[in-house]
Structure 1
Amino acid sequence: MATIIEKIGSLASEEPFFSFEFFPPKTDSGVQNLIPRLRRMTKLNPLFINITWGAGGSTATKSLEIAKLCTEELGITVCLHLTCTNMEKRVIDEALANAKKYSIRNILALRGDSPRGEEYWTPPESQEFKYAVDLVKYIREQYGDYFCIGVAAYPEGYADGSSPEEQDPLLDLPYLVEKTKAGANFIMTQLFFDVDKFVAFEKMLNEHESGVFNGIPLIPGLLPISTYQSFIRTAKLSHANIPEDVMDKLNAVPNADDEQVKQVGVQVLVNMINDIYTRTSHRVRGFHFYTLNLERSTGLILEKSPILRPRAHGSTYVPQPVAVKEPVSIESALAAGVSGVKLDDSISAHWDDFPNGRWGDPRSPAYGEIDGYGVTLHATPDKALKLWGSPETSSDISDLFVKYLTGELPVLPWAEEEGLSAETKLIEDDLIKLNKLGLWTVASQPAINSVKSDDPVFGWGPHNGYVFQKALVEFFVPEQKFFSLKDKLQGNESISYYAGNASGDFFSNMSASDVNAITWGVFPNREVVQPTIIEEQSFRAWMDDAFEIWKEWQRLYSPSTKTYELMGNIHDSYFLVSIVHHDYVNGKALWELLHE
């Protein structure tokens, strides 16, 4: 199998190309449905695809299995991510050996700590690899030139939890020089939306006095915009600046109308690609798409981009930005195969376009955390210690949850630094009561019955529709309290619940095949839309992460402390409970039940 550098070298001198990135889905059905998606998208002729690697090697097995399938069955060149932070040397050795075994010749060598920032309490001397450059050097020492190695770059400066004003690519430049000298073959950037900053970054590398970047491809990382909320969240996690003109275009359409947001987002990316290709005098000609395991937005961008559309259709290279007309649209090609080749699956190319993330359909390849890094505390260790201190009792933990609800704390390990949503504010008093009782809430929503789709608090979806939702609450609770509560829940026909602990104990009053739609909408000229569901597979997948966050929090402290012991006890003895109340007409029903 060819390396990425060999494939780039086989192209004409200014010929554009693109690549896709996928992450291992959280559920088994998600993995199964990713396979036909990969088959469809590889028909679009990407030069290569990236498969991500979860923090600490958490997705090692899945990542390698997907990479192997792409190489052996789809015949596509694969670049396997490999992170080294908090990674045992044994895991890295096994990954590299298996990559070679499966003829995977491309590695993206990453430190792997973003977006976490600094190291945990673990003493630095216990780390085999501290930085990405250590991993690059190790791969070269062990395998010579067998692997083509890519490294990461940050056009706006590396974000370590500091304010955007303190990000500066010049500060990162010595590290990028070091990684390149150590043996990097290409550079791939973090996602960005500010083309001016990227062009300035490319110019800085191109004119570097050492000449170390001469002949090293720089590939910009681009994020297709599928929904407004996912766009804002991912940009925030990556500390990417959003130019004013981009925000103006997105804010010109209803943020809750996903279809309109998508269309605007497609044009934003098309313009970015054209600007980058033109303003760098075609030196930058490769574009990497962070697909988030979705396909429609990426397909639409390729369809509308005069730079990339010819390659996506397998046409002869067009050396400069011109209008290109083709009889076959990529929108239809994704569903039926490019050039009319019928694929062996019947799943729509965009059946899961909008309901992705934690509350979406667990059958979707895009189900789960959209950033792909696995569990995180949503704060750097220094910031976490400053905010949360060193709790030593369960009452101390209750106080932290209450302070988050009242706005005294900006973030919790299970909640990003966004503050309470407008709808959560409506049940704030109920949540505070629960947390004071030792039921630590990590998710919730109030019930609503037939609210206009353009409502400023609850609205979503197309104009002139109506939306509904059932009351939901999810919380950690001590084992003894759970079993007292379980007796009230088990026979209540208005309640559906799931509960489980880190040891594998699981309880529910539903069957494994039951599905609860907790948010739905009725709109003109379309079927009822159910973007938010609760069912067993999704709860189990989330439950593992939810308990793992206790372990992440615990790692901030020395094992000899009371806080470390407290975190371990909570992880081992608490239950996570998710409750849905079906009486969405009575908005108080769930809270009255729990406050008894």
Structure 2
Amino acid sequence: MSTIVEKIQSLPPDLPFYSFEFFPPKTDSGVQNLTARLKRMAELNPLFVNVTWGAGGSTSSKSLDIATLCHKQLGLTTCLHLTCTNMDKNIIDQALAKAKQNGIRNLLALRGDPPRGDEYQIPSESQPFHYAVDLVKYIRQQYGDYFCIGVAAYPEGYADGTNPELQDINIDLPYLIEKTAAGADFIMTQLFFDTDSFIKFEKLLRQHESGIFKTIPIIPGLLPINTFQSFIRTAKLSHAHIPVDVMTKLETVQSTDDEQVKQVGVQILTDMIDRIYQETSHRVRGFHFYTLNLERATASILEKSIILKKSQIVRRALPETTPSIEAVLSGKVEDIKLNAKSETAEASWDDFPNGRWGDPRSPAYGEIDGYGITLHVPPAKALELWGHPEKPEDISKLFVDYIQGKLPVLPWSEQDDLNPETRFIVDDLIRLNNDGFWTVASQPAVNSVRSDDPIFGWGPRNGYVFQKSLVEFFISTDKWLKLKQKLSNVDEISYYAGNAKGDFFSNMTASDMNAVTWGAFPNREVVQPTIIEEQSFKAWSEEAFAIWQEWQQLYAKNSNTGQFLQKIHDSYFLVSLVHHDYVNTTALWEFLHI
């Protein structure tokens, strides 16, 4: 199998190309349905595909499984991500060995999350990698030229969130030079929407006096826009500047029709591709799509882009069946039927994706960035924000401060402010958190609100949307036992509860599907984009408790705070409640007024 660079070199000099990135879904059903989606997207004939790798190796097994399926069964040139910071060397060695064993020859070497507390800052024998350059050097030392290695670049400068003024490409340049000199074969950028910044960045590299960037492939990373909300969220997480003209185009449609947002997004990306290709005089001719495992927007861009049509897309005839991942890895490849699903369900996965609060059967179900568990802020900033809690009241205060807007972020939050709908239940949430119910997710009940409503609306125009009241929180074991007894006396509330030890309780069966948001639109079946069920709760519960340990690692193991956070991780429950009386908007909060 050719490497990425060999594939690029085999193309005619001016011929554009494109590639796709996928991440491992959080649920087994999501992974299985991703196999069907991979087959279809393989028919779009990308030059190669990337498969992401969770921080600390959190998705290493699934990542290797998906990469192997792409390579062995779909015949795709496949690039496996590797993150190295806070990573045990044995995991890296195993991943490299398995990648080679399965014929995967391309890697994207990334730093991953920055080191955490002081005791984690110094590389050790078990965790020798501090920066991506350490990983590049190690791969070259161990495997020579077998692997084609890519490294990341930041057209607007790398930002860790602590000091926006330090987001400067000139500050990052020495590190990119070092990574490239250590043995990088290609450069792939972080996502961006500011085309001017990328063009300036590419010119800076090509003209650098060292000459090290003169011919190396520089591949811009592009994010197809699926919804306005996910666009804003991802831009914030990536510290990507949004040009005024881009924001203006999207703001004109964001509150009225998700389909219009997608169409405008397709045009924005198409224009970006055209400008980059023309204004770099075809030096940049490859475009990498961060698909987020979503199909429609990427396919629409390929269809609309005159530049990418030059690549003479050839639809490949692939098998009608796809093997299980287990069969691929075991070497016993037996074809299986693709999962049956309604067209409405599959359409809703792409039409109305909304992060974790989605359909657990979706191939796009999981972290939006695909890189696994993270605190979303660097260690120094986290310590400044959250201090050194040593008792439950300290945690309650942090949660209340966040709800009141006094604290910009918590370990479980991905954005700097609450959703606008939260103001309808803010007093209830403050009361709960003061009582030791630390809320990590919630939504008020909504009974038939127009789909163009600026706060609750979503989906096509002239529709109506509904949602059940929901709340999710951490509580101590004694509080959970009291709550569990109270729940046994009501029929209107569905619940899941679990702890880090694996104890699990629910009043539903494993096959129950609980729709918590839905919409009725002209000329459509009822759309249910948000479903909560046992598999998705367990997947999220594992991640939610792992975040307590991520937080704990900011502190010395024997410190009061470190021991306190470990105790919470070990003894608290995560509880999810849904009240089915969406007509009575206060029912859930009155029930919880213990």
TM-score interval (norm. to shorter):
over 0.9
Matched, 1:23 2:20: no
How far apart are 1:355 and its partner, in Å? 3.1
Task: Evaluate the alpha carbon distance shift between residue 40 and residue 459 of structure 1 in structure 2; reply closer, same or farther with a 3 A threshold.
Answer: same
Range with greater deviation from structure 2 (276-285 or 347-356): 347-356
Range with greater deviation from structure 2 (408-417 or 59-68): 408-417
C-alpha distance in 2 between matches for 1:560 and 1:342? 56
SS in 2 for 1:525: coil
1:285-434 equivalence runs, <5 A: 285-311=285-311, 313-314=313-314, 338=315, 343-344=320-321, 345=338, 350-353=347-350, 354-434=352-432
Which of the residues 107, 116, 120 maps onto 2:117?
A: 120
How far apart are 1:588 and its partner, in Å? 1.0
Range with greater deviation from structure 2 (137-146 or 415-424): 415-424
| Structure 2 stretches lacking a partner, 5+ long | 322-337
How far apart are 1:164 and its partner, in Å? 3.7
C-alpha distance in 1 between matches for 2:475 and 2:316? 56
Matched, 1:204 2:201: no
Matched, 1:223 2:223: yes
How far apart are 1:54 and its partner, in Å? 0.6
Other-structure match for 2:456: 458
How far apart are 1:162 and its partner, in Å? 3.5
How far apart are 1:165 and its partner, in Å? 3.6
Which of the residues 507, 510, 521 maps onto 2:508?
A: 510
C-alpha distance in 2 between matches for 1:496 and 1:480? 20
How far apart are 1:256 and its partner, in Å? 5.3
Q: Are 2:43 and 2:316, in contact at CA under 8 Å, matched by a contact in 1?
A: no
C-alpha distance in 2 between matches for 1:55 and 1:421? 27
Letter of the 2:349 counterpart? D
1:259-298 equivalence runs, <5 A: 259-298=259-298
Other-structure match for 1:334: none
Other-structure match for 2:476: 478
Letter of the 1:446 counterpart? P
Letter of the 1:470 counterpart? K
C-alpha distance in 2 between matches for 1:23 and 1:295? 13
C-alpha distance in 2 between matches for 1:411 and 1:435? 16
SS in 1 for 2:193: coil
Letter of the 1:98 counterpart? K
Other-structure match for 1:72: 72
How far apart are 1:213 and its partner, in Å? 1.1
How far apart are 1:454 and its partner, in Å? 1.9
How far apart are 1:166 and its partner, in Å? 2.7
How far apart are 1:241 and its partner, in Å? 0.6
C-alpha distance in 1 between matches for 2:45 and 2:453? 42
How far apart are 1:356 and its partner, in Å? 4.4
SS in 1 for 2:307: coil
Q: Are 1:295 and 1:350, in contact at CA under 8 Å, matched by a contact in 2?
A: no
Q: Are 2:85 and 2:115, in contact at CA under 8 Å, matched by a contact in 1?
A: no
Matched, 1:469 2:493: no
Q: Are 1:490 and 1:508, in contact at CA under 8 Å, matched by a contact in 2?
A: no
Other-structure match for 1:588: 586
How far apart are 1:462 and its partner, in Å? 1.7
Letter of the 1:525 counterpart? N
How far apart are 1:224 and its partner, in Å? 0.4
Other-structure match for 1:324: none
Other-structure match for 1:332: none
Q: Are 1:118 and 1:160, in contact at CA under 8 Å, matched by a contact in 2?
A: no
| Structure 1 stretches lacking a partner, 5+ long | 315-337
Q: Are 2:389 and 2:561, in contact at CA under 8 Å, matched by a contact in 1?
A: yes
SS in 2 for 1:480: helix
Letter of the 2:554 counterpart? L
Letter of the 1:30 counterpart? G
Q: Are 1:356 and 1:364, in contact at CA under 8 Å, matched by a contact in 2?
A: no
SS in 2 for 1:474: strand
Other-structure match for 2:104: 104
SS in 2 for 1:583: coil
SS in 2 for 1:142: helix
Other-structure match for 2:547: 549
Q: Are 1:250 and 1:261, in contact at CA under 8 Å, matched by a contact in 2?
A: yes
Letter of the 1:359 counterpart? W
SS in 2 for 1:492: coil
How far apart are 1:505 and its partner, in Å? 0.5
C-alpha distance in 1 between matches for 2:457 and 2:28? 32
How far apart are 1:481 and its partner, in Å? 0.9
Letter of the 1:424 counterpart? T
Q: Are 1:45 and 1:311, in contact at CA under 8 Å, matched by a contact in 2?
A: no
1:107-256 equivalence runs, <5 A: 107-113=107-113, 117=114, 119-121=116-118, 122-126=120-124, 127-255=127-255
1:43-58 equivalence runs, <5 A: 43-58=43-58
Letter of the 1:173 counterpart? L
Letter of the 1:363 counterpart? R
C-alpha distance in 1 between matches for 2:488 and 2:309? 56
SS in 1 for 2:152: strand
Q: Are 1:224 and 1:269, in contact at CA under 8 Å, matched by a contact in 2?
A: yes
How far apart are 1:229 and its partner, in Å? 0.9
Other-structure match for 1:572: 570
SS in 2 for 1:595: coil
Deviations 1:186-236 (A, max 9, x none): 000000011111000110111111111122000000000011111111111
C-alpha distance in 2 between matches for 1:444 and 1:388? 22
Task: Evaluate the alpha carbon distance shift between residue 203 and residue 526 of structure 1 in structure 2; reply closer, same or farther with a 3 A threshold.
Answer: same
How far apart are 1:340 and its partner, in Å? 8.2
C-alpha distance in 1 between matches for 2:210 and 2:316? 46
Task: Evaluate the alpha carbon distance shift between residue 592 and residue 479 of structure 1 in structure 2; reply closer, same or farther with a 3 A threshold.
Answer: same
Q: Are 1:83 and 1:112, in contact at CA under 8 Å, matched by a contact in 2?
A: yes
Which of the residues 510, 527, 530 maps onto 1:529?
A: 527
Q: Are 1:85 and 1:111, in contact at CA under 8 Å, matched by a contact in 2?
A: yes
Letter of the 1:481 counterpart? K
C-alpha distance in 2 between matches for 1:399 and 1:418? 17
Q: Are 2:123 and 2:130, in contact at CA under 8 Å, matched by a contact in 1?
A: no
C-alpha distance in 1 between matches for 2:214 and 2:418? 48
Q: Are 1:153 and 1:189, in contact at CA under 8 Å, matched by a contact in 2?
A: yes
Task: Evaluate the alpha carbon distance shift between residue 523 and residue 15 of structure 1 in structure 2; reply closer, same or farther with a 3 A threshold.
Answer: same
C-alpha distance in 1 between matches for 2:457 and 2:358? 17
Q: Are 2:255 and 2:452, in contact at CA under 8 Å, matched by a contact in 1?
A: no
Q: Are 1:465 and 1:521, in contact at CA under 8 Å, matched by a contact in 2?
A: yes
Q: Are 1:14 and 1:282, in contact at CA under 8 Å, matched by a contact in 2?
A: yes
Alpha-carbon RMSD: 1.5
Normalising by the residue count of structure 1, what TM-score does the alignment of the two structures yield? Answer: 0.93
How far apart are 1:310 and its partner, in Å? 4.0
How far apart are 1:493 and its partner, in Å? 1.0
Number of aligned pairs? Answer: 570
